[in-house]
Amino acid sequence: MLVFKFGGASVKDAQGVINLGKVVNSYAGSQILVVVSAMGKTTNALEKLTNAYFNGADNMHQILEEIKAYHYHIAHELFGENHPVFDDIANTFVEIDWAIEDEPHDDYDFIYDQIVSIGELVSTRIVNAWFNHTGITSKWLDVRGYIHTDNTYREGVVDWDKTRESIQKDIPALLNKGIVVTQGFLGGTSENFTTTLGREGSDYTASIIAACLCAESVTTWKDVPGILNADPKHFADTIKFDELSYQEAIEMTYYGASVIHPKTIKPLQNAGIPLLVKPFTEPAAAGTVIKEGAVNKFDKPVIIVKQNQVLLSVSANDYSFISESHLSEIFGIFAKHHVKVNVMQTSALSFTACIDYTADRFEKLLDALKLAFKVKYNNPLTLITLRHYNPAFVDEVTAGKNILMKQTSRNTVQIVLK
């Protein structure tokens, strides 16, 4: 049994959906569960819609109509004028229509999950319809009834026992009848509200399902030839890794390598399931395999760049030393507001952390910290992480840049730049 995950770039247009069908059809005879992300940049557009709704912006309905038009255009190119999928698309989008009729709920994260989740629900309706339209027997599955989470919106924590029971109860029988198509990124609460698993969380969805079903492998289909040592959009002469160990992949994703969601690897490692990263434009290519016992070869450093960072310095109001009790309080505030620390340092009088900038969470974090501490910050900044580095390459990357913070360990150096 195989689990395939297709990201937004692979289904950004009608040709992408057609290609997806060809990839799946090339594995005819295998049991396949397909996890699909929102189409193209739909998640970004739905985030924009969420902000417009929450802030009462005048262009809210215009944004929604543009999102609808994008999906209807793809469906028209695939199916022509008359097909049941158009009703499925309309009935899915009506959930947003109903949501934005009311005044915004106090909890932004709750609103975010109810609106942004629609992207995956629509994309999977279209993909499933295309499969059946072209003779590939498939079943659409609402993943919210199978991946069960708590009420931590935008960062749903999976209830593994309940999730495993639900997945093992129904999905094997469905796979005996054909392809199963479901959504990445989403979960559901015991109150039947939608949660999301964290930005770019579709890889994690595939990992959860694969671990629960003891799948043979997970393949995540990307617009790159495999896992590279750096983003080819920013660095020339990148190299592809043929294989990586689970441990190295976990390190890379922890530091922000965007090709795989950070939570993806651990469930696969626990179950001994390999993860393949392959190009959807060349399905026969080897790609990269992440597995136990892989040999890591680093002819060049691994370079991970995170933009839109904030460097935050926290100090006591009375100029006292930053003690363990201060750090405990600070980390408690970070945890309460679901803010992850990318790199940190302490000195006698301050605690400094580099974090991702998310407007709503950052403002709440700032307000909470200011109740007990003095706070200074700089943004927007860039965080560069180099693994398996050499000093000459560090000098090359930072030449002419204003370094605000640098932290070096045996295998890794992290540099915050302005």
Task: Report yes or no: 148 and 208 within 8 Å, Cβ to Cβ.
Answer: no
Q: Cβ distance 282 to 412 under 8 Å?
A: no
- Give the span between the Cα atoms of 188 and 247, in whole angstroms: 30
**Of the candidate ranges 78-87, 232-241, 282-291, 377-386, the one whose mean pLDDT is the lowest:** 232-241
Q: Which pLDDT does position 40 carry in this prediction? A: 97
pLDDT at 235: 86
Which amino acid, 388?
Answer: H
Q: Which range is least confidently modeled, 49-63, 248-262, 303-317?
A: 248-262
- Whether residue 103 is predicted with pLDDT greater than 90 in this model: the reply is no
Q: Which of 127, 122, 135, 146 is nearest to 70 (CA)?
A: 122
Report the Cα–Cα distance between both ends of the chain, in Å, rounded: 48
> Which residues on adjacent β-strands are paired with residue 38?
none
> Which range (69-73, 346-350, 391-395) has the least confidence?
391-395
Task: State residue 199's pLDDT score.
Answer: 84
Reported as half-sphere exposure (CB side, CA atoms, 13 A), residue 155 has a value of: 10
User: Is there a contact between 245 and 290 (Cβ–Cβ < 8 Å)?
Assistant: yes
pLDDT confidence of 277, banded at 50, 70, 90? very high
Nearest CA-CA partner of 37 in 284, 261, 263, 224: 261
Q: What is the pLDDT of residues 166-213, one digit of tens each?
A: 999 999 999 999 999 999 999 999 999 999 998 888 999 999 999 999
Q: Is the pTM of this model over 0.85?
A: yes
* Residue 254: per-residue pLDDT: 87
Neighbours of 144 (CB within 10 A): 21
The answer to whether the Cα torsion of 266, 285, 230, 38 is positive or negative is negative
| C-alpha torsion sign, points 141, 147, 149, 154 | negative
Query: How many Cβ atoms from other residues are within 10 Å of residue 308's Cβ?
Result: 12
Structural contact between residues 404 and 354, judged by C-beta atoms closer than 8 angstroms = no
**Structure confidence by residue, pLDDT tens digits, 355-380:** 999 888 899 999 999 999 999 999 99
pLDDT of residue 256: 86
Residue 271 has pLDDT above 80, yes or no: yes
Mind giving me the DSSP string for 127-187?
Answer: HHHHHHHTT--EEEE-GGGTSBB-S-TTSPPB-HHHHHHHHHHHHHHHHTTSEEEEESSEE
Is it true that domain 2-291 has CATH number 3.40.1160.10? yes
Neighbours of 314 (CB within 10 A): 24
Name the pLDDT band for 106 (thresholds 50, 70, 90): confident
∠ CA 140-39-158, nearest 5°, is 60
DSSP 72: H
Alpha-carbon torsion (113, 114, 116, 119), positive or negative: positive
CB 215 within 8 A of CB 4: no
Average pLDDT score over residue span 114-124: 98
Mean pLDDT, the chain, integer: 95
Distance CA 265, CA 230 (A): 19
Quick: pLDDT tens for 216-258: 999 999 988 999 999 888 888 899 999 999 999 999 988 888 7
Q: What is the pLDDT of residue 149?
A: 98
What backbone phi and psi angles, to 5 degrees, belong to 390? -130, 150
Q: Calculate the alpha carbon distances from 308 to 64, 72, 141, 190, 233 in Å.
A: 26, 33, 36, 35, 17
324 pLDDT above the threshold of 80: yes
Residue boundaries of the structural domains of the chain: 2-291, 302-417
Say how far apart CA 297 and CA 227 lie, in whole Å. 13
Class of domain 302-417: alpha beta
Q: What are phi and psi of 294, to 5 degrees?
A: -65, 150
Decide which of 350 and 105 is more confident: 350
Q: Which of 271, 292, 273, 272 shows the shortest CA–CA distance to 217?
A: 273
